[in-house]
Structure 1
Amino acid sequence: MASNKSKIGLTALTALVISSMIGSGIFSLPQNMAAVAGSQALLIGWLITGIGIIFLGLSFASLAKLRPHLDGGIYTYAREGFGDLMGFFSAWGYWLCTTVGIVGYLVVAFEAVGTFVDTPDAVIFGKGNTFASFVGASVIAWLVYALVARGIKQAAGVNLVATVVKVFPLLLFIGLAAYFFQPDIFIADWRGASIAAETVADNSIMSQVKNTMLITLWVFTGIEGAAVLSKHARKRLDVGRATVIGVVIALTLYVAITVLAQGVLPRAEIAAMSNPSMAGVLAHMVGGWGKVLISVCLIVSVLSSYLSWTLYATEIPHLGAKNGAFPASFLKFNRNEVPHKSLLFTTLTVQLCLFLVWQTGNSYEALLLISTSMILIPYFLIGAFLLKIAFTENLAPKYKLIGLMATAYALWIVYAAGVEYLLFSVLLYLPGVLLFLYSQRKHHGSWRFNGYEKAILLLLAVLAVPAVMQFVQSLSA
């Protein structure tokens, strides 16, 4: 257990959950959703997401109560329920999701800076993938490294202040959008009839709803924040409370912003906006200063989210090292009770990804594709673990219902994501297998797999063939 030196109270813990969920995605959400869904599908999509994400949040809260001795959430729950290999896959997938996600935060932050300083004749920051962006993002990455190395509690305190700063403009946007909202504009493109010609071949309501799923999943990534940092909570019950409070606040903000925006401007007009699209909608309502406000808010928001996600990305390899899933060096603490080697590993990986973004010219959207595809399995395993113990231990019906609904939502997300995303994630799990094999041999002196785990590895090897073929085809397209 962590000492009082690193304990986090309910308010700071809730702020971490909110901050990690409300990062960059919320500022692009009006355009992202308008591009794939009419008003009817938008409401259905949020209904499914709202129910599913609340039950996922309740799963974290329930497991924190039922298994108070398990610290770390994502990794430890999967390992406890399904063994070392699945625990590692959950940890690896989540670590990649958080690490690539925070690279995306830095990229989009400098893209926002570029809106103030770039001109057609002098592109300095571009889409966050220029040399100037690389240098600036690298500096921030190592400043955050230094801040986190000083202590988890101190970093959480800074995040609390930043969260308050970034939520205020969102509330201002919602208030103004409610004032300018016109029902006839909202229902004008009720079924999204014009979407097919713009973005997709199939504009059925079901297809539109499915297309909203990965978008809504991305903006809720971070729901697990309190569980990941559970050992730092002042009270164990605060883990569940922080998760549920954070989910309800974030869900309310997301639904209000997307629904009200489509009543301020026609769907097709929002869909054609450049991001952050909240800036364009607010500028329509109040003038140019609205765009400046949202751009500044975006920068503050992504930097605070970067901080909270760095805490999560640092914690997971450290926890995995205790059971031989990651190298033993990740177990070591510095004098501030921070797993320093794990933090350094994460920061060096961020630095490498920033270099690759600069060299390849990849944008924020490409990073989100990678990040979101890696969180699908970890979230599924959370609901499945609660469902497993609820039936094997014959717990109260409420736990069975929560586990069932969370698992069903996770399976729906996997279905909505489609084969392309799943094959893409297979490619990213393969390097993790090599790390797991190395760590297992170092920790135990040999590889230890049961029949079930051997079958999983065989399935992964089989899926690697179409995954590689798909990747090669995408490069030649």
Structure 2
Amino acid sequence: MTNADTPAETPAAAKLSLPTMTAMVVGSMVGAGVFSLPSRFAQETGMGGALIAWAVAGTGMLMLAFVFQTLAVRKPDLDAGVYAYAKAGFGEYLGFFAAFGYWASACVGNVTYWVLIMSTIGAIAPALGDGDTLLAVALSSVGLWAFFLLICRGVKEAAAVNKIVTVAKVVPIVVFIVLALFYLKPHVFAENFAGADYAGSLFHQVRGTMLATVFVFLGVEGASVYSRHAERREDVGRATVLGFLSVFAVFASVTIVSYGIAPMGEIAQLRQPSMAGVLELAVGTWGMVFISVGLIVSVLGAYLAWTLMAAEVLFVAAKDDDMPRFLRGSSAGDVPVPALVMTTALSQVFLIVTLFSDDAFNLALDLTSALSLIPFLLAAAYALKIVLKPDSRTERREGFSRDLVVSALATIYTAFLLYAAGPKFLLVSFIIYAPATILFVMARREQGRSLFSPAELVILAVSIAGAVIGVIALAVGWISL
């Protein structure tokens, strides 16, 4: 174990090529979410609403991808993307919250992967249920720590595995789209256009899909988070946009073609992974088995990428004195082991929480999305800030109009997502955010600094108030897990 405090002892960062970083972005996004899209969308909206939802989400996330691309070029000294941008734009405490929120989001997201794997196997092994039984949690815990040992072998080795898995897992998804098109029933497709009676107004339908779209696009910032490992700095932005465009068409296609297989009410009732259920309705049992195997490969690859990125955020935040010093440690294989231990441990805690949830998968999915929104909003707002108030390093007058539009749209989109999330997940997010301040206090004490500035005390008060309201709301039943 070495300490990042001593330059002579710090191992050189492993360098990753453009194809490898693009694969990490794709691998981060193509995970559990895409296999849950048919049912999740059918529960909220018909095909017409789905088209609008994907247009909104695609445009908004593309603007966010452009934001990360622009910031990677204009702020090359800022590593770990989301966290670093929030800190540079809005101060250390909000930067800390961005780092912690992004990290916690990744940890909860990792739980969705294990829940979905166990739910998939649960179709033939009832003892695993929907991935939230005691046996399922026990087996998931074994997998959780097995991957911890794999990643400890080294960043380059883990990234290489992810590159191979990314190729392997895209194949069954493409096959699903092709088969669904072949078996598409035009009359069912037309009937599903307007949506079912339970869907509500069109605005309500579109709003209901937003957290699901955020979840499947999480990972678009993957190359930015891992920017210190890029062979060339410009590859960070290129990998971000290439990865986004590659998966957007896939995600939208999976959703839309499913509406041509069965009535949306029937799709809405399918167990997760609903993509397997849709293909079973189209071609029979072998379709379910085929997708289920593809899902397990896909989810394990995404889990690998997300765990790497989560640990990286803690590691870089600790190097910047925004997390306690013990998180600066790294191995000879360039693995931030203490950060990786914390990442795996928090995932373990959330895995246990699923035992007490009515719907473990959707809870983890929505909470993952909600936790990521504040970091994304701060990153987008920072991009807008440097456009409106450029310095000598960021001023590029010829690109002013483009950057202004992109950053403004990304900021508006992420603010809308906070509204779409609703009070439930914002309050639960505060319950997670507020106690994290302990780590911030530890870091400040290590440096012999005053704990909070006046502005930071206001932020602290807001986070504590939100956490208290959230706990009360859970206790009296205003909201539930």
- Report TM bin, short chain: over 0.9
TM-score of the aligned structures, taking structure 1 as reference length: 0.93
Match of 1:139 in 2: 142
Q: Count matched residues.
A: 465
Matching of residue 366 in structure 1 with residue 357 in structure 2? no
Residues in 2 aligned to 1:362 and 1:287: alpha-carbon distance in whole angstroms: 27
2:42 partner letter: A
Contact 2:137 2:352 in 1 (8 A): yes
Matched residue type, 1:440: R
Equivalent of residue 32 in structure 1, options 28, 40, 64? 40
CA RMSD of superposed structures (Å): 2.0
- How far apart are 1:167 and its partner, in Å? 0.3
Moved more, 103-112 or 406-415: 103-112
Counterpart in the other structure of 2:408: 404
Secondary structure of the 1:285 match is: helix
Please give the secondary structure, in 1, of the residue aligned with 2:432.
Answer: helix
**Structure 1 partner of 2:320:** 323
Cα separation, partners in 2 of 1:351 and 1:268, compared to 1, 3 Å: closer
Judge conservation of contact 1:34–1:267 (CA < 8 Å) in 2. Answer: yes
Change (3 A) 1:128 1:149: same
Within a 5 Å distance, the mapping from 1:92-103 to structure 2 comes to 92-103=100-111
Secondary structure of 2:477 counterpart: helix
Which residue does the alignment assign to 1:199?
none
Q: Alpha-carbon deviation of 1:108?
A: 1.5
Query: Structure 1 residue 361: deviation in Å?
Result: 7.8
Summarize deviations over 1:229-252 as a string: whole Å, max 9, x none. 110111111111111111111110
- In the alignment, structure 1 residue 54 sits paired with structure 2 residue 93: no
What stretches of structure 1 of length at least 5 have no aligned partner? 197-202
Any conservation in 2 of the 1:191–1:205 contact (CA below 8 Å)?
no
Q: 1:5: how far off?
A: 6.5
Counterpart pick for 1:457 among 435, 448, 460: 460
Q: Work out whether residues 130 and 361 of structure 1, in 8 Å CA contact, stay in contact via their aligned partners in 2.
A: no
1:3-24 Cα deviation digits (max 9, x unpaired): 7761111111111111111111
Q: Quick one: percent identity of the two aligned structures?
A: 38
2 CA distance for matches of 1:191 and 1:438? 54
Partner residue in 1 for 2:3? none
Q: Which residue of 2 is the match for residue 335 of structure 1? A: 332
Match of 2:451 in 1: 447
Q: How does 1:175-186 map to 2 (within 5 A)?
A: 175-186=178-189
Q: Which amino acid aligns with 1:192?
A: G
- Contact 1:324/1:444, CA 8 A, preserved across alignment: no
Distance change >3 Å, CA 180–CA 476, structure 1 → 2? closer
Q: Which residue of 2 aligns with 1:290?
A: 287
Letter in 1 for 2:383: L
SS of aligned partner of 1:6: coil
In structure 2, the CA distance between the partners of 1:467 and 1:20, relative to structure 1 (3 Å rule), is same
Equivalent in the alignment of 1:258: 255
> Matched residues in 2 for 1:126 and 1:375: separation?
28
Q: Write out aligned runs for 1:64-463 (5 A).
A: 64-118=72-126, 123=127, 125-196=128-199, 203-358=200-355, 363-393=360-390, 395=396, 396-449=400-453, 451-463=454-466
1:469 aligns to what?
472
Bigger CA drift: 1-10 or 367-376? 1-10
After TM superposition, the score normalised by the length of structure 2 is 0.92
Distance of 1:333 and 1:463 partners within structure 2? 35
Name the aligned partner's letter for residue 184 of structure 2: F
Distance 2:137 2:50 in 1: 36
- Change in 2 beyond 3 A, CA 1:243/1:434: same
Deviations 1:38-65 (A, max 9, x none): 1211111111011001001111111001
Contact 2:220 2:243 in 1 (8 A): yes
Distance 1:474 1:304, change over 3 A: farther
Cα contact 1:5–1:153 (8 A) shared by 2? no
Post-superposition offset of 1:369: 2.9
Distance in 2, Cα, partners of 1:463 & 1:241: 38
Q: Deviations over 1:63-94 (max 9, x none)?
A: 00111111100111110111000100101111
For 1:269 and 1:360, locate their aligned partners in 2 and report how far apart those are by CA, in whole Å: 24
- Contact residue 332 and residue 341 of structure 1 kept, 8 A: yes
Cα shift at 1:117 = 2.9
Q: Is 1:6–2:3 an aligned residue pair?
A: no
Which shows bigger deviation, 13-22 or 353-362? 353-362
